[in-house]
Amino acid sequence: MFTGTYVHTIDTKGRLSLPSGFRKNLSGDLVVAKGFEGCLQVFSQDAYEDFLKTFTAAGSIEPRVRKVGRYFMAGSEPVELDGAGRIRVPQHLKEFADLEKSVTVIGYGDRIELWNPENWEDYMSDISVEELASELVQAGLLA
């Protein structure tokens, strides 16, 4: 499980060093994919396959599920974690997430998210956790 917030940098070759605590749960083949709210998601290969099952199971019948599945599948690339704990962030995904030198790296359960630091700060400043949690409880999505 990935948790926490870190600030790292992308080098001139497009490589990003992942937090050392995250590397314990990762090895070899990973996937970088477009995420929600303009961030990128980094998954282990197994976690990404599990994530995609949500879309492929129902996706052959429901057009909206196919659209979301295509968004994630077409907007992802396999990458490898090198011996120094770095991944190469593909240029088109860096552009999607507006990543330049500094990157906010957050743990989000089974995945890692990569954010433009300003976008992360803006996103967090717009959240009222108490109000949102109350709405989710009322909608039956949170106990």
pLDDT band at 143 (very low <50, low <70, confident <90, very high): confident
Does residue 62 belong to any structural domain of this protein? yes
Number of domains present in the structure of the chain:
1
Q: 83-95: per-residue pLDDT in tens? A: 999 999 999 999 9
pTM, two decimals, is 0.90
Does residue 61 belong to any structural domain of this protein? yes
Does residue 111 belong to any structural domain of this protein? yes
Under 8 Å CB-to-CB from 31, ≥6 apart: which residues? 42, 43, 44, 45, 48, 76, 77, 78, 79
Q: 40-82: per-residue pLDDT in tens? A: 999 999 999 998 887 777 657 788 888 888 888 899 999 999 9
Give the residue among 96, 94, 99 at the shortest CA–CA distance from 36: 96
CA distances from 101 to 12, 13, 90, 108, 110 (A): 8, 11, 14, 22, 25
Strand partners, 83: none
Does residue 134 belong to any structural domain of this protein? no
106 lies in which domain range?
A: 5-116
Does residue 137 belong to any structural domain of this protein? no
For position 57, what pLDDT does the model report?
74
Size of the chain in residues: 143
Distance CA 79, CA 54 (A): 22
Q: What is the CATH number of the domain that holds 111?
A: 3.40.1550.20
Does residue 140 belong to any structural domain of this protein? no
Does residue 127 belong to any structural domain of this protein? no
- Find the distance separating the first CA and the last CA of the chain, reported in whole Å: 21
